[in-house]
Structure 1
Amino acid sequence: MKVVVTGSTGFVGGAVARTLLERGDQVLGAARSPHSPLDEARGLVPFPELMAALADPDGPVADEVAAELADVDAVVHAAGDPTFGNGAHYEQANVAITERLVALLRRHAPGLRRLVLTSSIGAQDRPLDAPLDAPIDERSNPDPASDYGRSKLAAERVVAESGLPFRILRLGMVVGEDMRPASHLAAMLRVGLGPGGVVLRRAAGTLPLVHVDDVVRAVATAIERDDAPKLSLVVAGSPTIAEVTAHATGRSAHVMKLPSAARRRLPFSLRSTFSPELRVADVALSSVGWRPERSWQESVDEVAAVVRRRTDPSIAPPGLTLVTGAASGLGLAVATRLAGRRLVLLDRDGGALAQVAARLDAVATIVGDLRDDLSSQLDGVAVAQGQPYLEAFLCAGMGAKGPFLAGTDRAAGIDAIDINLTARLRLARHLLRYMRAARFGRLVLVSSSTALSPMPQFAAYAASNAGLLTFGEAVAHEVQSDGIHVLTVCPSGMDTRFQERAGVRRVDGEKLLDPSDVAEAIVGGLRHPGRHVLMVGTLTHAMNLFERLAPRRIQPVIWNRLVAARR
């Protein structure tokens, strides 16, 4: 079967696409963001031309779009935007795109057997005058209380009036380990597992939960069964917030009932927190054999484990951990500290790397120069292991001391720019695609104390580290909402061969950091997802203070004298 999945990099769309691939279907994925290399290796065919056509209603339809749709069997429309926005935003993201998709399918997909729209229980909600003792089902009158819900209901009507063979699935709160950290249950458990649990263990609001695996099975049923209902809620259970929090924390729930007078005065967002507004009956899809296989308790346990993992780096993630420069120095110390994880070790010294890999029981090694594009080798390991990269510690780098007008690129520091900055950015961009698809990741960029000030005799080297530092701080905020923690580390000099290779002589009495101590500090820094820069070493902290207090124009003058005197 040939299936197009829109929103195929999203939580629901991605899960649907992967399952269809596993069962042998041909899957075309249409999404705004790039797919994970692992999904493409499994056979998913990116279909960016379709998203371009949906985004531009007045533009010509590319020949590739018409050709691919001509023999498509099914379309799963999971694209949309549940994030905060106003009515106009949702109109574009959820309604207009659905209208354009329907128009394209009517024109170019003559053999379409099924269009499945994944909608939301937000299109349903409960009217204020509806009795609380009556659970919601497909016959209940929809009364969405938000712009988002109204846009989803409008999209449902577009599909229902399209004349195409459709099925609409109103999904409850879809949960699983790959959900975004700011989404409903994950965000609630982050509060509930902390001091806020005291309040949440009293909340009577209901959570219509369903595990993403059960949603995928519902989508498959909607595609395959001609007798499946045209509209179905997809929910596995409706526990109260108090029950969910109590289950996650192992403590007792003490539900507080909301007086009816107060209920009528509250907006739906608060009403649904303290009143059982979204209690759902047995869903219509059960009439054709669909039943949830994951209980709400199992779903809560899975998400709670991820919430804990985000703030506890001692818990190994269910994926690969890449360490560069792993044959010596800080890379070796980090790899040793992380022994027990599914380590993928990278270094250009193949002999030393093999010995380290054997000692640490690494799952794979990559011998290569960071200046080369190593993406195909990284992807090969991910495919062979069947797992994505969820952690990456980019420790490998090179130093360079000397005047910028020195005779060679290496002496001038040009090679340092290539390795310390360009190569790391290329690696980071590739690895972040894996992490974004999993909505979890840790990316550690090892910079240097030299990133903090302009440093004569280290001009290009310091610039490479300064560039890495500002890049790390910026990209950390770009990917934070995807559950990815980017930490840029600025250690002062370490007791490794790094300085010797850079041409820096040691000074008598100079105290250099032990790499194992820096590795331990890095792991400690990962316990704080809101921290994006980690200073390690007394000298680094002193340089940071100096950079803040000293006028910029005199900093290179002072450093030039210090370097000349000590180095």
Structure 2
Amino acid sequence: MSLGRRIYFITGASGFIGRRLCTRLVAQGAEVRALVRSTEKVGSTLPGLILVAGDLGSPKTYASALSGSDVVIHLAGEAKFGNGPQFRQSNFLATTALLAAVKDQVPGLSRFVFVSTFGAVDRAPTDLCREPVDETYPSHPCTDYGRSKWEAEVAVRESSLPWCIVRPTPVVGAEMKLRSHLAVFVRSAMSGGLLSRFAFPGRFSFLHVDDLVEALILTSTHPEAVNRIFFAAGHPIALGQVFAWAAPNAVRVPLAWAADLLRPVMRWLPFQARALLYDALTASDAALQGLGWSPRHGPRESVEEVIQAERRRSDFYFPPAGLTLLTGAASGLGAALAVKLADMNRRLILVDKDEDGLAAMLSGHPAVVKRVVCDLSRDDELNRLLTSPIWGGEGIDEVFACAGFGARGPVTQLNGITQVNIFLVNLVSRVRLCHHAALVMTSRSFGRIVLISSSSAYQALPYMAAYAASNAALLSFGEALWGEMEGSGVEVLTVCPGGMSTRFQERAGVLVLPNERLDTPETVADAILLAVKRKQGPVLKVGIRSKGMDFIARLLPRRMRVRLWKRLMGMLR
């Protein structure tokens, strides 16, 4: 279906559903104005997509972008199941603010589509859950989340706008949030969790995200959808069956007998128990199908997509091969990692400022998707890398930040610009790369960032002050980022290798002592890949030198450490 030049204003455009909706609308010829908190969370390279940075609760931040819109689809809100005052603020008050702004800015609006939830209705305690819920079912929200959505529905219906309300059942897909319903169930089954040992008979109406997108587009244009409420439900499937698909070899205890036994007292059961034993979370989408919509994804297909995503989370290199971006890929550790990752069938984006070295690296190898010549000390070149189309579409799910350099000499004798560039490459470029990558990866609940620091991060090093300081700051940053990303689906590892036999010593002016045993880049690369396989974090110390420098840093007083390293570094001149 072509949408011509209709103008859509989408809230929640950077979310799981919003990203898919924006992509689909643009593909069908619409102009899309996407309201997001951060413009970096949605690929701005999509032609026809206009990013609007704003706060949904503050209409003045986005009101002007509403002007001229044909359709508003309101997805944004607090979508966690539970209780608390934040739900009314995010779901009801923000919706009323948006409605007021639309009335003021878009007098000729053709449709306001509000995406509500099954939780705005919920089952009555006396309901025996024998039939799916439909649009005639009275509302009995049992949480503050559901009540806030119901209040928002009332506000939409009482507005003077041409409206449509869509109530999706739980929405699923590979990029669903890490802590969302089906992802949690699948992960529990794959890890042998106690809950997954039971064949719960309660059925859920899981809906694939792409089927919901089609429903939203249809209800935004169909003349018979105006001023109506629809459930978008998909096919019901028992939770026990989901567990069986995720872990087919596990033995499960059947519980259909328990459901029959407890039915006389089910009204007194907690809602979660009712959902596990009975069809409490099923809905009928017959009304929506009356407009010509039907779910294209069956339950097995939808669940299998989530299972494959969870397998990739547990084993990052589980096929299909994802995209890895490597900086410093033309030599040293970056090159060693590139070769090993290519052998593991990863698809690679190689970044380095050495154009000739980059061209020679894995020349002709099918694993290399793109080569990017980039001097990370230059702001303009770094900006081009971060705004490149490589971050859109399928997206990069792994970053190895290997590029770095150092210089030896007293602070007073080294060129000042050189010392600044050490910080720009070793620290600033990596902070910016992490910021951008983390935004993209957290929106998908999947990704990995590996930062290559150095054993110099543990010590202040006279005669290499800027180099050691940049690595110390990177180590601290990487550990903190690991803490922030924990539970988000994004893994972070900061690596501190000891000395490696690369061109670093020659370039930095550091003397290699006779009989000094340095690790090869290949050895360090193997240690890194083993650590990421084991999901080790937040820090990996590679080699005896790295572990020894960390031990000395913990053992000796600061003044003694600095004097010791001044003497040792003086010997390497």
| TM score, norm. by length of structure 1 | 0.92
Root-mean-square deviation (CA, aligned residues, Å) is 2.4
Aligned residues: 557
Q: Which amino acid aligns with 2:527?
A: A
DSSP 3-state at the match of 2:33: strand
User: Is contact 2:235-2:298 (8 Å) kept?
Assistant: yes
Per-residue deviation at 1:205? 3.4
More moved, 142-151 vs 373-382: 373-382
More moved, 81-90 vs 321-330: 81-90
In the alignment, the residues of structure 2 paired with residue 172 and residue 423 of structure 1 have an alpha-carbon distance, to the nearest angstrom, of 43
Q: Which amino acid aligns with 1:249?
A: A
Residues 465-523 of structure 1: CA deviation (Å, up to 9, x unaligned)? 11111112222333445422222111111111112211111122322122122222222
DSSP 3-state at the match of 1:315: coil
In the alignment, the residues of structure 2 paired with residue 480 and residue 40 of structure 1 have an alpha-carbon distance, to the nearest angstrom, of 29
The within-5 A match list for 1:206-355 is 206-228=203-225, 230-251=228-249, 253-256=252-255, 257-258=258-259, 259-260=262-263, 263-315=266-318, 319-339=322-342, 340-355=345-360
User: Is contact 1:208-1:278 (8 Å) kept?
Assistant: yes
Residue in 2 that maps onto 1:403: 410
Structure 2: which 5+ runs fail to align? 1-5
Identical aligned residues as a percent: 38
Q: Which amino acid aligns with 1:93?
A: S
User: Is contact 1:316-1:341 (8 Å) kept?
Assistant: no
Q: Which amino acid aligns with 2:150?
A: L
DSSP 3-state at the match of 1:451: helix
The within-5 A match list for 1:481-496 is 481-496=487-502
User: Is contact 2:324-2:398 (8 Å) kept?
Assistant: yes
Residue in 2 that maps onto 1:25: 30
| TM score, norm. by length of structure 2 | 0.91
In the alignment, the residues of structure 1 paired with residue 506 and residue 353 of structure 2 have an alpha-carbon distance, to the nearest angstrom, of 18
Residues 98-156 of structure 1: CA deviation (Å, up to 9, x unaligned)? 00011111122111111111111121221221012222222222212211111111111
Q: 1:162 to 1:199 in 2, by over 3 A?
A: same
User: Is contact 2:14-2:42 (8 Å) kept?
Assistant: no
Structure 1 residue ranges (4+ consecutive) displaced by more than 6 angstroms after TM superposition: none
Q: 1:280 to 1:460 in 2, by over 3 A?
A: same
DSSP 3-state at the match of 1:489: strand
Per-residue deviation at 1:157? 1.1
The within-5 A match list for 1:32-431 is 32-36=37-41, 38-48=43-53, 51-52=54-55, 54-56=56-58, 61=60, 65-66=63-64, 68-83=65-80, 86-196=83-193, 199-228=196-225, 230-251=228-249, 253-256=252-255, 257-258=258-259, 259-260=262-263, 263-315=266-318, 319-339=322-342, 340-361=345-366, 362-373=368-379, 374-377=382-385, 379-382=387-390, 386-409=393-416, 413-431=419-437
In the alignment, the residues of structure 1 paired with residue 265 and residue 572 of structure 2 have an alpha-carbon distance, to the nearest angstrom, of 73
Per-residue deviation at 1:219? 0.2
DSSP 3-state at the match of 2:230: strand
User: Is contact 2:478-2:538 (8 Å) kept?
Assistant: yes
Q: 1:501 to 1:269 in 2, by over 3 A?
A: same
In the alignment, the residues of structure 1 paired with residue 47 and residue 445 of structure 2 have an alpha-carbon distance, to the nearest angstrom, of 19
DSSP 3-state at the match of 2:100: helix
Q: 1:139 to 1:168 in 2, by over 3 A?
A: same
More moved, 98-107 vs 439-448: 439-448
Residue in 1 that maps onto 2:3: none
Q: Which amino acid aligns with 1:398?
A: F
Per-residue deviation at 1:265? 4.4
Q: 1:318 to 1:81 in 2, by over 3 A?
A: farther
Per-residue deviation at 1:565? 4.5
Residue in 2 that maps onto 1:15: 20
In the alignment, the residues of structure 2 paired with residue 126 and residue 220 of structure 1 have an alpha-carbon distance, to the nearest angstrom, of 28
Residues 273-305 of structure 1: CA deviation (Å, up to 9, x unaligned)? 344321333442011111000011111111111
User: Is contact 1:327-1:356 (8 Å) kept?
Assistant: yes
Structure 1: which 5+ runs fail to align? none
Residues 34-63 of structure 1: CA deviation (Å, up to 9, x unaligned)? 344634443311122xx33x3237xxx36x
In the alignment, the residues of structure 1 paired with residue 224 and residue 544 of structure 2 have an alpha-carbon distance, to the nearest angstrom, of 70
